[in-house]
Structure 1
Amino acid sequence: MKLSNRLALLALLLLLPLALCAQKKQIQTARDQVKSGKDLAKAVASMQGLLSDSANRQNPRIWLVLCDALKAQYEQSNERLYLKQATDTTTIFSLTMRLFETLSAFDSLDVRPDSKGRVRAEHRERHAAFLHSIRPNLFNGGVFYTRKRQYADAYRFYETYIQSQNWPIFTGYDYADRDPLLPHAAYWAMYCAYKLGSADQIIRYQDLAERDTSMLNFVRQYQAEAYLLQGDSTRYVEALRDGFDRYPNFSFFYPRLIAYYERHGDHDSSLVVADRALEADSTSVLFRLTKGSILLNLGRYDDCIAICKKLLEQNDSLADAHFYIGLAYFNQAIDLDIVEQRHREKRQEITRLYKEALPYLERYRALAPDQRNRWLQPLYTIYLKLNMGEEFDEINKQ
């Protein structure tokens, strides 16, 4: 061995006892801080600094001091909250999360077998009992951050609450069978993921969320949204169909399913959905109005006019009902105008249809003046065909 290497090794051997002595002093100082209940933040930072060195990660004494320091911080903050003294609610939740992360990490070290293959798990029972006592704070932290619309933080708390049911440290607690809040946590995790627009996170706990039957309609909604985010139109439509079959009156599924079919020109499927909706609620204005629109698109003009006129008997201010009736008459006139305009009898019928359409379209214009893209062209055509010069001049300026 070269002389320089020997000197370096000698220096290392001389410095090692000093380093170990300094570490012991650092640990003892942190212990004293925990015992006094003062400078706890310094104790936590000191132990975390030691654990940042991979050589110290297997030292249980450092871990235990860190665990005790965090527990002392939590208990002090909780006491201030109980006594209604000045404290930040987020501190309680933050410490809860750090305690779960730290004590569960130490647990993996605590259960390592010794040189004879024995597993003592000396601290598991005590640490598990403590974490069990504060575990509700994970759910409450999720609720807290949800209300503040900090959905990423909320999701993290719900997810830790859910995942902790399977942590080795909680062996014997049987949360999966005994914790009634787990499905609620899964639902709210889905909700936060939906707000974040994260498809993978939305469906991660879907099966568990489905056990929260009170919110199953929203679970189906978020599932459909996840497929839409993933660009999976097949599964998206299947989810809409399934959701609509289960909850025909729920506001999410019906309009989106109709919109999908109409966008793809599948008016027959739209009509099947509309009829199914009316079976669930025959008085719904939305369902009846939607059916009128579909009948219009199918060219079933008389049926469209009939259903929309019944709606107007109940409420004369339904703008779309006026529009659908007017367009039903107008479309019939246009169809005849194209192929039958040379016959006198057909000319009279065309004129009659334009006249029938006119009051409904004018009423629609009055009720929806901003919808120029819908009423402008039909009215322009009617005024022109009926030789209504004054009205034609007025609308021609639009």
Structure 2
Amino acid sequence: MRKLILITLLLLSITPCLRAQRKQLSQARSYIKSGKDLDKAEKILQELLRSDSANITNTKIYQLWYQALQKQYDSGNEKLYLKQQYDTAAFFKTTDKMFEVLEKLDSVDTVLNGDRPKFRARSSADLNKLRPNLYFGGAFFVRKADYKTAYLIFDRYLKCADMPMFAHYDYANTDRRMEQAAYWATYCGYKLKVPEMTLRYSDKALADTARMGQTLKYMAEAYLIDEDTVDYVSALERGFEKYPMSLYFYPKLLEYYTVTNKLDSALLITDRGLSFDKENKMFLFAKSSILLNVGRYDECIAVSDSLIAMNDSLGEPHFNAGTAYLNKALDKETSMSKSLDRNEIRKNKETLMSLYRKALPYMEKYRVLAPKEKRKWGPALYRIYLQLNMGRQFEEIDKIISE
């Protein structure tokens, strides 16, 4: 008797809930049928899903929700076709939401009916017709610089290729826009500075050969944010191999090799760049600097002179050549300090003065070209004027570096 009473009470409590639910569904249907207050219909259906977990498997709710969205979509599509004023952003967001709802319906359908879902064929056919608008919607939001929304729409567009409900369309092999969509998703992730989003579709994006260089750049920047040095350098090397004249890959790669003191690698990529353009000033200046740093002073001077011959208004080649002569002089001074032979010392002294005299015009020219860089030319000229016994010039430079 006690069990019977409990069951009766339970049924009595459920019945009002069912009546309220039927009333809400009826109200939503009325809104949808009238074509007005479609947003209210959506709110009713969303509330039904939120308020009772049992409703999550109620396929009627998803079907009605889709119908409400479809009415909004059709209205917007008609206005766009007639070139009437319409909220284009809302139109594309509605398209995206239609996918979201029918994908949820398909998930519920699969739980209820296993590998023979009742609604899949109809749902996938409807969404397949709408799918191009996901691509155009993503592109629309990219133009509006709304990269987050654009990414989410491109993400949905791309995920269709891996979803069972679209398997028979074989988007991965039949959709020519997949590569471009992957590129734009990667671009949006890069603009948002979110590595995970940038890299999610980067492999697919690389198949878009027209934009491969940009994709590799976005990948490198994502790896840099993630502090993934191995993949960062790999992306740069891959980019440089493919685009040696790019103003992105070579400078970044050179910076990495220089900071990590891998100067042999730095010289190797620089020579590879020069093999494509032997008069490229960027490569020549880099080679001049690398040769200076590894102590190959005569080669540094030769490369610097070739740059100066091309354009004598470039300051840094003058500095590199002048510094190379000064370093040679320092080496000579070191060897002189170890010698006891007077004749050898005298000859070395003449050579030493010759090196300082050769360094002089380069450093004075660099001073003219880069007057604000006194921390570089100041100590160099101080040393030169001192060694060459140039009193007036020495006093001037002494005051400058003492300020």
Report if TM-score (shorter chain) is over 0.5: yes
5+ residue gaps, structure 2: none
Q: 1:8 to 1:112 in 2, by over 3 A?
A: closer
Match of 1:75 in 2: 74
> Contact 1:383 / 1:391 at 8 angstroms: preserved in 2?
no
Match of 1:32 in 2: 30
1:47 aligns with 2:45: yes
Query: Normalized against structure 1, the TM-score is what?
Result: 0.89
1:1-398 maps to which residues of 2 (within 5 A)? Answer: 10-52=8-50, 53-111=52-110, 119=116, 121=118, 123-340=119-336, 343-386=345-388, 387=390, 388-398=393-403
> Contact 1:58 / 1:109 at 8 angstroms: preserved in 2?
yes
CA distance in 2, matches of 1:319, 1:277: 22
- Between 330-339 and 276-285, the greater mean CA deviation after superposition: 330-339
1:66 deviation in Å?
0.7
1:220 deviation in Å?
2.7
> Contact 2:106 / 2:117 at 8 angstroms: preserved in 1?
no
Residues paired across the two proteins, number: 393
CA distance in 1, matches of 2:269, 2:76: 56
Q: 1:18 to 1:267 in 2, by over 3 A?
A: closer
Q: 1:82 to 1:369 in 2, by over 3 A?
A: farther
5+ residue gaps, structure 1: none
Query: Normalized against structure 2, the TM-score is what?
Result: 0.88
CA distance in 1, matches of 2:232, 2:11: 67
- Between 387-396 and 161-170, the greater mean CA deviation after superposition: 387-396
Q: Aligned Cα RMSD in Å? A: 2.5
| 1:179-207 Cα deviation digits (max 9, x unpaired) | 01111111222222223333333332232
> Contact 1:113 / 1:119 at 8 angstroms: preserved in 2?
no
Q: 1:268 to 1:62 in 2, by over 3 A?
A: closer
1:82 deviation in Å?
3.2
> Contact 2:378 / 2:401 at 8 angstroms: preserved in 1?
no
Q: 1:373 to 1:154 in 2, by over 3 A?
A: farther
CA distance in 2, matches of 1:99, 1:380: 75
Q: 1:59 to 1:195 in 2, by over 3 A?
A: same
Runs of 4+ in 1 over 6 A off after TM superposition: 5-8
| 1:149-185 Cα deviation digits (max 9, x unpaired) | 3333222122111111222222321211110111111
> Contact 2:139 / 2:150 at 8 angstroms: preserved in 1?
yes
AA aligned to 2:28 is: A
1:6 deviation in Å?
7.9
Q: 1:140 to 1:394 in 2, by over 3 A?
A: farther
SS in 1 for 2:169: coil
